[in-house]
Structure 1
Amino acid sequence: MGTGATCPSVVTQRPCSCPRTQVSSVEQCLDVSLVPWLLWLLEASSSGERKGKMQSTMTCPSLKLSKSKLIRVENFEAYFKKQQADSNCGFAEEYEDLKLVGINQPKYAAELAENRGKNRYNNVLPYDISRVRLSVHTHSADDYINANYMPGYHSKKEFIATQGPLPNTLKDFWRMVWEKNVYAVVMLTKCVEQGRTKCEEYWPSKQAKDYGSITVAMTSEIVLPEWTIRDFTVKNNLTSDSHPLRQFHFTSWPDHGVPDTTDLLINFRYLVRDYMKQSPPESPVLVHCSAGVGRTGTFIAIDRLIYQMENENAVDVYGIVYDLRMHRPLMVQTEDQYVFLNQCVLDIVRSQRDSKVDLIYQNTTAMTIYENLAPVATLGQINGHIA
């Protein structure tokens, strides 16, 4: 894919039908308090006075966007119905407000000539302030990878969001896994979708494989209807140290779309979290799709939302997406994904209210199969696949 490609859904958003989002660019910049200022400018323009001053001040005033829209759980269903009215008009307005969040932050490292070929899409570049820095070997550019630390509910570096590896970034990907002490990888894309390569297959299938100084060997693979679980041993050949890694590969999420049902993603999130309880607390969860923003942002957001509901009895979809976009551009990439997050919250609220049972592992045959297996099986024991 490389440097000339543009992540397509960024430029194919459906136009919002809400009256608020159809106003002109000038109207979007104005509120009632600015009317006197505007009248002064118009008067000055027509009379030719204060020309120099007007040239220096006639810019669109920056509006301070809200950073949070916290909703109590008991009020969320009414809030959802209000925002959903008129073809999701309220959600469309919220999503529109998020489009400019964080975009002026520098991305100098990603734009360096020596790093451009390491970016899958030329419009999805990591912000310098939160980018993951690798160790430097021989050149200063050795520290670059298209990845950002992302805040979770518990810490500012709870996740790493990254793009699907390219052929020329495979070594960097595994170096990041080792250097950042990653024990879990969440993959939310297929390697090829609709005939297009979305991610290089970065893991070995049968025999162990070297990626620079890192050797990776797969020890098990469990193929289920909605996702695949793979276990690996990751070894640093310079020190002979090694640690386990589990890849959670969600295979039923369409590119730029959303899963068929909310319970699929919710169950998958709990599956990942159950495994992370066995991992070192300082180990970040590495999450990627193709660009590392749409599906990746949606997964990280639902994890944070569930924790927020459990601990605060409140939920802030808007605020969480705002926070994610301050750390990596375009997180939660489409309006449909934003609405889907709200739908996930609504379904959890209804499930807990109506049945008093958490929406965990319900109606998921795959979970039953998975729970009956040993935590780590060998390829020989399970023949590589369970259908």
Structure 2
Amino acid sequence: MIESVSKRAFGGSSGTYNVHALELAAARERKSKTLGVTVKFLDDSERVFRLEKRAKGSDLLERVFDHLELIEKDYFGLRCCDNDSQCLSCMRWLDPSKLVKKQLGTRQHVLYFRVKFYVSDPSKLQEEYTRYQFYLQLRRDILEGKLHLPPSTAILLASYTVQSELGDYQPEEHEVNYLSDMCLIPNQTEDLERKITELHKLHKGQSPADAEFNFLDHAKRLEMYGVELHKARDNTDREIRLGVTHSGLVVFQNNVRINVFSWSKIMKISFKRKQFFIQLRREPSESYDTLLGFNMETYRSSKTLWKSSVEHHTFFRLHSPRARRRFPFSLGSKFSYSGRTEYQTLAEARRRSGLERKFVRSSSRNLSSPAIRSSTVEDKTKCTRTSGSYAHKVTSLDTKEPKKAWTEDTRIPDEDSCYADKPAEGPFSPGIAGRIMSYADDEEAPASPTSNGLYDTPPYSPSHSPATARSPADVDAVTVAIRPDADGKYGFNVKGGDGAEAAVLVSRVAPGTPAGESVPRLTEGDRLLRINGKDVSRARHEEVVELIQEARRSDSGKLVLVVKPSAYQAYEGDFEEPPYQYVPVGGAEPPSPGNALQQSMLLLADGLASGALIAQYETLFRKHPDLTSNESLKADNVNKNRYRDILPYDTTRVVLKTVDNGSDYINANFIDMSISNTDVTNRYIATQGPLSTTVEEFWSMVLQEDSNLIVMLTTLIEKGRSKCHKYWPDLDGILTLKDIIVKCVKEEIDQSESFVFRDFVVVDVKDNVSKEIKHMQYVAWPDHGVPDSPVEFLAFTERVRANRAEGSPVVVHCSAGIGRTGVMVLMETALCLMEAGEPVYPLEIVKTMREQRAMMIQNASQYRFVCESVFAAYEDKVNEKAES
């Protein structure tokens, strides 16, 4: 301490430097030149970002994406509020091209990280972390009341949330009220929690990533998935809501979807003041353009809808954003989407795939108070259960493909799907598998939609159109190397190549197979350019299959594919309605006996909302691996088979005894379906439609097995192809065979002209014995596909049941004797089980049938239809009981 200072000290020159004051001033200056923005994330965490005052929205977005380490970042955006309000209807997206400061409110700088573009299929997302962010968004949509869903689906999705957070159900750990602390669905009650628990038990073995993938896979089927509604009025001044989605514009009235305009049908999108317009593509039969107008609430809401439409069309439909020409004196909005498209996003994700990253999942308790809600929404999201202690957090590595719902092995092990041995007819995606290739009575693939290009909706870039064959020197091509698994299969199917200019596309990739786990990953819709160095961009389907088979037969088995990635699916028309299904799982606790049927129907309804039935159906064997069909392959019998691939098992085939030509063969199998806990067994003979050379054998079989009823589920000719030879005479006519005479004594057509009922008298000439036989033909079943609704089909099935003779087998045939025939057998079996109060498990019924005749219920659409019919029949019975 200085106690004295000399006078000299104050003499001469001197100076001072105020460090503290200058630092405060500098800090104030720095603060005045920067902007603090708080971003709230989907897991309710938040972070403050300091930006320059002249920073644009793109600068903040990049800071946010870097903070999250997002690769597939273009699906997301930041939402801000108009007029400093937190009402959902006042939210708008941060514009990357404009200054952040001008877009924020005057008093608070708070933004919300949200999903902006809802991916059409979660299997497109390469990273587990991206799927997790989508999962958080959808959970929030449900709790905020934005995503409307039926109670059964809400319970199912909640069960996946529980599986993700708590893991497998453990009776000793998870007590009665173990869900009471978790906010899972709006208006949560103890009764709903019990139902969630029952489904939670079925998800044993699923990791957090598996459960979240299944959550997304089911949620995408919902009508309101990814739809942000805009209030409007139609030309009759009725209040409606318009929604923009990945596939086009959707119109709702009273929360019911009444129309869909896909992007491929829209020519132009425009707005003027408070009116929003779409111009539809002119159909070949029309001589005029269709212009539809909608009245919006305000000019701003009209422009907001227009901008959203422009962004969604560009993101989901174009190869790259279209450069907009600037004219100095142009009128109207100069807005255009300048970000990356989904195609570019997925291409970038493919190049950067394989990153392993660890992250922490948030608890459902954190989402019980969503950050954005109006007073109305707050009431919807309020949980009625109290908090507890089950707030587990789970870490995960993005290292494996998600496992499908209710299955322990997602590979498709049957030998007939063959993975690229036969073309598939539709794209396969988890939860809603594409229709597999049929051997007979197959469905036709839908025609590829076309699109075209005040906002014009331009067509896809030629380089991005899967219907246009191009040189293998395509840009953005990806090389995928695959080796076969232990069974010699690669795990994918192909389609196309049916014409000189038709490209060959990957139509299905099975999870858990080499193709499903390749890096980069092979995905549905990828266009094949080269196979092991050979150009296949214009090859026929048969040539592609042969090249794949050749690679399989080589010593290494290595298959090197050069593919053009497909970042999108072309949509035409309406969404596909989710199907019904119930999939039983071993080890699950059985429901109480008196409630077993109801429980099975509850899970069947869950399948309706989830779309899980197709994926589970396709895991079944098509032919039993331990059963042979040697008799059908003998030289004398080969020509008696209508289709070379549809052959009867030796163990259950019908052996003829009364034919004199020395052969006992006919393409037919016995099928016995026992009704649980009863002494009833429905007996069937499933057979092909007779050939002109096998009519005698067919009638000999009918007489030999003492059948009184023949059910025919096809017409004689379909689409110019013979499906069945006419094995009966016209009304009052006589068909004379070597040892049999057939007389038609009655023929009537029902009022709907869907069925024809006949009565025959069949005479065995050798024994001089006659027999009356009824013949029921379903003539309204479409040439390809399934009936339009279950109503007529159920009526036909009930009539079959009424005419069945006890102990006598019913002869059932279509063309091949497996597809429609299997549908009929399953439906009658299900009705008998319902009548006995027994649970109905359609998948188990299919398995039982296929153990007696190969490939029963031939394709996924048939299985979906019969499951829908089963549920419709159950609802009818419930309604009848309620009315009585």
Q: Structure 1 length normalisation: TM-score?
A: 0.73
Deviations 1:37-93 (A, max 9, x none): xxxxxxxxxxxxxxxxxxxxxxxxxxxx9799998332345423432345x2x1112
In structure 1, the partner of 2:580 is none
In structure 1, the partner of 2:765 is 237
1:253 aligns with 2:781: yes
Deviations 1:137-173 (A, max 9, x none): 5565x11000000112356670000000001101111
Secondary structure of 1:143's counterpart equals coil
Q: 1:147 aligns with which of 626, 648, 668?
A: 668
In structure 2, the partner of 1:282 is 807
CA displacement at 1:106 relative to structure 2? 0.4
Q: 1:300 aligns with which of 804, 815, 825?
A: 825
In structure 2, the partner of 1:115 is 637
1:213 aligns with 2:739: yes
1:74 aligns with 2:603: no
In structure 2, the partner of 1:191 is 716
Q: Is the 8 A contact 1:103 1:329 kept in 2?
A: no
Taking the TM superposition and a 5 Å limit, the aligned residue runs for 1:100-139 are 100=622, 102-135=624-657, 137=659
In structure 1, the partner of 2:837 is 312
Q: 2:616 aligns with which of 94, 100, 104?
A: 94
C-alpha change, 1:357 and 1:127, in structure 2 (3 Å) is farther
Secondary structure of 2:648's counterpart equals coil
Q: Is the 8 A contact 1:256 1:294 kept in 2?
A: no
Secondary structure of 1:151's counterpart equals strand
Q: Distance in 2 between matches of 1:223 and 1:352?
A: 27
In structure 2, the partner of 1:266 is 794
CA displacement at 1:357 relative to structure 2? 7.1
Pairwise CA RMSD? 2.8
Whichever residue aligns with residue 795 of structure 2, its letter is N
Q: Give the share of equivalent positions with the same residue, in percent.
A: 31
Q: Is the 8 A contact 1:257 1:336 kept in 2?
A: yes
Single out whichever of 168-177 and 76-85 deviates more from structure 2: 76-85
Q: 2:727 aligns with which of 199, 202, 206?
A: 202
In structure 2, the partner of 1:17 is 429
Q: Distance in 2 between matches of 1:229 and 1:326?
A: 31
Whichever residue aligns with residue 284 of structure 1, its letter is P
Whichever residue aligns with residue 97 of structure 1, its letter is T
C-alpha change, 1:27 and 1:105, in structure 2 (3 Å) is farther
Whichever residue aligns with residue 146 of structure 1, its letter is N
Q: Is the 8 A contact 1:191 1:197 kept in 2?
A: yes
Whichever residue aligns with residue 210 of structure 1, its letter is T
Q: Is the 8 A contact 2:743 2:760 kept in 1?
A: yes
Which structure has more relative contact order (CA 8 Å, sep 6+)? It is 1
Runs (5+) with no aligned partner, structure 2: 1-421, 434-508, 518-583
Secondary structure of 1:243's counterpart equals strand
Q: Is the 8 A contact 2:719 2:783 kept in 1?
A: no
Secondary structure of 1:130's counterpart equals coil
Deviations 1:247-305 (A, max 9, x none): 000111124421111121111111111122xx3x3311000000000000000110001
Taking the TM superposition and a 5 Å limit, the aligned residue runs for 1:48-67 are none
CA displacement at 1:14 relative to structure 2? 3.0
Q: Distance in 2 between matches of 1:170 and 1:251?
A: 20
CA displacement at 1:215 relative to structure 2? 0.5
C-alpha change, 1:73 and 1:236, in structure 2 (3 Å) is same
Q: Is the 8 A contact 1:68 1:318 kept in 2?
A: no
Single out whichever of 224-233 and 311-320 deviates more from structure 2: 311-320
C-alpha change, 1:210 and 1:67, in structure 2 (3 Å) is farther
Q: Distance in 2 between matches of 1:352 and 1:102?
A: 35
Q: Is the 8 A contact 1:67 1:318 kept in 2?
A: no
Q: Distance in 1 between matches of 2:882 and 2:779?
A: 27
Aligned pairs, number: 308
Single out whichever of 283-292 and 131-140 deviates more from structure 2: 131-140
Q: Is the 8 A contact 1:209 1:215 kept in 2?
A: yes
C-alpha change, 1:197 and 1:137, in structure 2 (3 Å) is closer
CA displacement at 1:15 relative to structure 2? 3.8
Deviations 1:174-203 (A, max 9, x none): 111111111100000000011111000100
CA displacement at 1:26 relative to structure 2? 5.1
Q: Distance in 1 between matches of 2:661 and 2:761?
A: 29
C-alpha change, 1:343 and 1:289, in structure 2 (3 Å) is same
1:328 aligns with 2:853: yes
In structure 2, the partner of 1:223 is 749
Whichever residue aligns with residue 319 of structure 1, its letter is E
Q: Is the 8 A contact 1:150 1:161 kept in 2?
A: yes
Which is richer in strand? 2
1:166 aligns with 2:691: yes
C-alpha change, 1:100 and 1:249, in structure 2 (3 Å) is closer
Runs (5+) with no aligned partner, structure 1: 1-9, 30-64, 359-387
C-alpha change, 1:120 and 1:246, in structure 2 (3 Å) is same
Q: Distance in 1 between matches of 2:860 and 2:838?
A: 25
C-alpha change, 1:81 and 1:284, in structure 2 (3 Å) is closer
Deviations 1:212-256 (A, max 9, x none): 201100000002211000001011001111110010001111244
Q: Distance in 2 between matches of 1:107 and 1:221?
A: 37
Secondary structure of 2:736's counterpart equals strand
Q: Distance in 1 between matches of 2:587 and 2:786?
A: 24
Q: Is the 8 A contact 1:174 1:211 kept in 2?
A: no
Q: Distance in 2 between matches of 1:152 and 1:164?
A: 22
Secondary structure of 1:356's counterpart equals helix
Q: Distance in 1 between matches of 2:423 and 2:881?
A: 42
Q: Is the 8 A contact 1:161 1:292 kept in 2?
A: yes
Secondary structure of 2:760's counterpart equals strand
Q: Is the 8 A contact 1:308 1:314 kept in 2?
A: yes
Q: Distance in 1 between matches of 2:854 and 2:609?
A: 28
C-alpha change, 1:113 and 1:11, in structure 2 (3 Å) is farther
Q: Distance in 2 between matches of 1:244 and 1:67?
A: 46
Q: Distance in 2 between matches of 1:14 and 1:143?
A: 40
C-alpha change, 1:129 and 1:235, in structure 2 (3 Å) is same
C-alpha change, 1:275 and 1:157, in structure 2 (3 Å) is closer
Secondary structure of 2:871's counterpart equals helix
In structure 2, the partner of 1:83 is 607
In structure 2, the partner of 1:346 is 871
Q: Distance in 2 between matches of 1:254 and 1:232?
A: 26
C-alpha change, 1:28 and 1:157, in structure 2 (3 Å) is farther
Secondary structure of 2:673's counterpart equals coil
Q: Structure 2 length normalisation: TM-score?
A: 0.33
Structure ID, larger Rg: 2
Whichever residue aligns with residue 664 of structure 2, its letter is D
Q: Is the 8 A contact 1:76 1:346 kept in 2?
A: no
